[in-house]
């Protein structure tokens, strides 16, 4: 009898140790803001275990986040739109094509019908999904960002404004110290958004490597509350995790090339793809970048005919690789994109890729200046009705160069 009791006690001890030693669900990579417009945005984050996900949102008033139940906006497949009126306290509705909440580890909640020029508070929430058999789902623990011991995360939708400030950096290649130093040269309290202009890592190997390489640092510095726009670089096309890249960086167009407006400016973000011919040994026959740039040029020709672009007082192009340098990809960018941009009156292209500072003024073939930012400098830009000024500064804040544009009207 005694030995039986000891056996049961030992079994229960081993069982409990096994159960409690299992990893609990956690937010492994904190939320960050993507695809911000004056009335919409996407919030993305990652958990270590599959879960359903939602965002709770509240106005930036004097109430505590726990004052009442907040609208829940779920991650769902093929979101058509999410609507709610935060001032009236109405709950959000997800209109989806398939009618399912998503279950996974990478979570994206799209918020639309927001009020321009408005600050909101938010937290992200997950409940682990342990098992799904037929119509039966077994749920596990919850996890959420903290609104108890600290202030809730916030974001602010842009409003029609005479002044817009932003920062651009590129070719960090996983150097978090350089990223931190450069962001430190921007006054983030007065900076509306940041642009990552490609090659933030050497290659995309895994989710953890991508976040450890730059995104966790960016989230810590600004990205949970300030939007980040991304122009994919050629190094983000490399590695086994490269095909997953779009899942983490959604855009307003659903493509890696897109357009957005801020204040008086319209920004066109292009994806130059790879820099070598598709048949190069480095790509192992797995890329078709030439055709991709042809497709992109077709989109670009339509984008520059849109009212948002045509009516903008400033027309700014972001593209990791510049149309200079003599390599295949850059030659193809000049062939595919530059004629469209020349005709459409683009005022400047801001690039990286070359790991050196270059300022090329308009030439016979390119009607607009090209500002190539080095891998150790930051472009600080300010747009007003009178002028758009782009200042290049180093990691100590010393100004390296400057270029300015006059408004088109």
pLDDT digits (tens, 9 = 90+) for 312-370: 999 999 999 999 989 999 999 999 999 999 999 999 999 999 999 999 999 999 999 99
Q: Are residues 109 and 137 in the same domain?
A: yes
Residue 396 DSSP class: T
In a domain, 4, yes or no: no
- What's the structural domain count of the chain? 2
**pLDDT for 36 beyond 90:** yes
In a domain, 8, yes or no: no
pLDDT digits (tens, 9 = 90+) for 194-206: 999 999 999 999 9
Q: Are residues 177 and 62 in the same domain?
A: no
Q: Are residues 124 and 183 in the same domain?
A: no
Q: Are residues 202 and 333 in the same domain?
A: yes
In a domain, 14, yes or no: no
Q: Are residues 144 and 169 in the same domain?
A: no
Domain with residue 390: its CATH number is 3.60.21.10
Q: Give the domain-ending residue among 107, 128, 156.
A: 156
Q: Are residues 138 and 259 in the same domain?
A: no
With 0-12 CB in 10 A as exposed, 13-18 as middle and 19+ as buried, what is 390?
A: buried
Element (H, E) at 267: strand 265-270
In a domain, 319, yes or no: yes
The Cα–Cα gap between 317 and 396 comes to: 27
In a domain, 19, yes or no: no
Full-model pTM:
0.90
Q: Are residues 214 and 359 in the same domain?
A: yes
**pLDDT for 99 beyond 90:** no
Q: Are residues 36 and 146 in the same domain?
A: yes
Q: Are strands 358-360 and 399-405 parallel, antiparallel or unpaired?
A: unpaired
Q: Are residues 376 and 242 in the same domain?
A: yes
Q: What is the mean pLDDT of residues 108-129?
A: 95
Q: Are residues 168 and 61 in the same domain?
A: no
Element (H, E) at 13: helix 2-21
Domain that holds residue 129: 27-156
pLDDT at 95: 39
């Amino acid at each position: 009898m005694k030995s039986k009791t000891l056996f049961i006690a030992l079994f229960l001890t081993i069982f409990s140790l096994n159960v409690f030693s299992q990893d609990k669900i956690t937010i492994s990579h904190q939320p960050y803001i993507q695809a911000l417009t004056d009335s919409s945005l996407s919030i993305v984050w990652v958990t270590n275990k599959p879960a359903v996900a939602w965002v709770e949102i509240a106005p930036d008033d004097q109430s505590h986040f726990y004052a009442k139940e907040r609208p829940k906006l779920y991650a769902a497949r093929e979101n058509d739109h999410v609507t709610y009126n935060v001032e009236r306290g109405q709950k959000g509705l997800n209109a989806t094509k398939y009618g399912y909440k998503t279950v996974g580890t990478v979570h994206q909640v799209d918020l639309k019908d927001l009020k321009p020029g408005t600050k909101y508070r938010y937290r992200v929430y997950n409940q682990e999904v342990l098992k799904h058999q037929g119509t039966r789902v077994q749920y596990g623990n919850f996890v959420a960002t903290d609104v108890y011991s600290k202030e809730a995360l916030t974001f602010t939708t842009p409003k029609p404004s005479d002044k817009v400030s932003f920062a651009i950096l590129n070719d960090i290649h996983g150097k978090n110290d350089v990223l931190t130093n450069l962001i430190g040269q921007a006054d983030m309290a007065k900076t509306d958004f940041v642009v990552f202009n490609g090659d933030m890592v050497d290659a995309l190997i895994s989710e953890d490597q991508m976040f450890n390489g730059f995104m966790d640092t960016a989230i810590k510095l600004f990205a949970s509350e300030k939007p980040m726009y991304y122009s994919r670089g050629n190094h983000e096309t490399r590695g086994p995790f490269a095909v997953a890249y779009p899942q983490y960086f959604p855009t307003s167009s659903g493509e890696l090339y897109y357009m957005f407006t801020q204040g008086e400016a319209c920004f066109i973000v292009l994806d130059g793809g790879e820099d070598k011919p598709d048949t190069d040994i480095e790509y192992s026959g797995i890329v078709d970048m030439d055709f991709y740039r042809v497709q992109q040029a077709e989109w670009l020709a339509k984008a520059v005919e849109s009212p948002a672009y045509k009516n903008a007082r400033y027309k700014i192009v972001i593209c990791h690789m510049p149309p200079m340098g003599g390599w295949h990809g850059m030659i193809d960018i000049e062939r595919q994109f530059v004629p469209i941009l020349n005709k459409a009156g683009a005022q400047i292209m801001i690039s990286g890729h070359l790991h050196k500072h270059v300022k090329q003024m308009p030439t016979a073939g390119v009607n607009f200046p090209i500002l190539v930012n080095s891998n150790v400098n930051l472009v600080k830009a300010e747009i007003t009705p009178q002028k758009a000024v782009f200042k290049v500064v180093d990691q100590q804040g010393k100004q390296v160069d400057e270029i300015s544009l006059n408004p088109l009207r």
